[in-house]
Amino acid sequence: MTPATRHDLLTQALQVYSQAEIAARCGKNVRTIRRWKSDQSCPRIAEAALREMLQDEPRSQSGNGQPDFRFIDLFAGIGGIRRGFEAHGGRCVFTSEWNEFSKKTYQQNHRDPDDAHQFVGDIVSFPEQSVPSHDVLLAGFPCQPFSIAGVSKKNSLGRPHGFECTTQGTLFYDVARIIDAKRPVAFLLENVKNLMSHDKGNTFRTILDVLRDELKYDVHYKVIDGQHFTPQHRERIVIVGFRQETGFSFDDLKLPASGPRLASILHKTDGSEPLLPHDGERFFDPMRRSVQPKYTLTPNLWAYLQAYAEKHRAAGNGFGFGLVTPASVTRTLSARYHKDGSEILLAQGKGERPRRLTPRECARLMGFPDDFVIPVSDTQAYRQFGNSVVVPVMREVARIMVPHIRALLAQDLPSQQARVLLHA
């Protein structure tokens, strides 16, 4: 490929990605991307990254400038699931997230001037009739146990039953009541892998019964490991449903056989670390080319973790810290990472104390680009990324869902047009 052709690739990428996103994917800083653009040059080493970005089909929209589909974002966290569906032509029309810190991060990173939709806190008290019409429902709902006690008594008294009885008081109930009221063409629900075994499998069976038997959706589910896309072993269950039977299959996922290693997300100490204005020197000192010292464990904490691990090792238990190197794939990042960082500690050389990942590295570990702003404290940032989704996983699931979403919407179009003419 000639330099001119590589520059054409860069030009195409700049039409749909920011300079910061391209810099992060190519392992460069924004000034370098800006220079490539102005000099009409682009090195061979960037070719593969640019091709990969363009193959993601990011942010595609229909030819009339309208979104391909509308979605709502429930239990939204910091917007990880949203990003996956926006990348394939969707527009968010409603968001719910109760945590004020997560809301701050979400709104800081989703400021589309055309995106003035409603943002509510607690979905539990929000009436389903007031949720705007949408094509796709997205929800990373928390896992809670369901109680089926009293169903027969309620039946005898003529009180509500079905999912209104078995799931009421849980957050899944709020997902179900909105699906029931709005009948979107599709939904995606995300949860921890243990949802399948929770309460001896009763929780998951109840969810499937509600979605399939009561709401009458064609439901598919799969556990997907984030390490296909980022250097983190993170298994999550993804439940997908369509209002009508489709040809959807999780077999269509393109999961790289060999994912990246930790080195790909670590701050670079060779002078190539991107300079991010929104980070400043909060996580990384560009002059010293090193991570800020506060992320290295104190002598007392390191001594405690080693003693704790030795105690459990002697007892035959597997508890302990997770020491990693740049060649590693990490354990699952958890919301409690801010406490001691023990599940992912980066070795810094013989005789040196290890360090935590910085919040920026955690963002990268979850697949967020470097233009993602972290406006909260380190403690809150660790909680948010530990509770988030691996963004490239959501983008890949959205990729295989969207053709079926479009097909179902196309089937709905004649009846929608007829209703418009009837009321004209």
**Which listed residue (42, 143, 165, 362) is catalytic?**
143
Asked if 117 and 92 touch (Cβ cutoff 8 Å), the reply is yes
- Extract long-range pairs of 22-26: CB within 8 Å, 24+ residues apart: 22/49, 22/50, 22/53, 23/274, 23/370, 24/274, 24/364, 24/369, 24/370, 24/371, 25/49, 25/50, 25/52, 25/53, 25/369, 26/50
Q: 265 in helix, strand or coil?
A: coil
Residue 240: enclosing H or E segment and its boundaries? strand 235-242
**143 is a catalytic site residue:** yes
Give the dihedral sign, CA 24/30/31/35.
positive
- For tokens 């009409």, the residue is 40
Measured in whole angstroms, how far is the alpha carbon of residue 340 from the centre of its chain? 24
Instruction: Please state the φ and ψ torsions of residue 186, each to the nearest 5 degrees.
Output: -155, 165
Residues 297, 293: Cα–Cα separation, whole Å = 9
Q: 11 in helix, strand or coil?
A: helix
**According to DSSP H, which parts of 15-79 are helical?**
19-26, 30-39, 47-55
CA distances from 361 to 49, 136, 271, 364, 391 (A): 19, 31, 17, 5, 14
Q: Which of 212, 124, 211 is nearest to 171 (CA)?
A: 124
Asked if 109 and 78 touch (Cβ cutoff 8 Å), the reply is yes
Residues 394, 95: Cα–Cα separation, whole Å = 17
CA distances from 344 to 175, 268, 328 (A): 33, 18, 10
Instruction: Please state the φ and ψ torsions of residue 335, each to the nearest 5 degrees.
Output: -70, -15
Strands 186-192 and 218-225, sheet pairing: unpaired
Residues in Cβ contact with 33 at an 8 Å cutoff, skipping those fewer than 6 apart? 10, 19, 22, 23, 26
Residues tagged active-site: 143
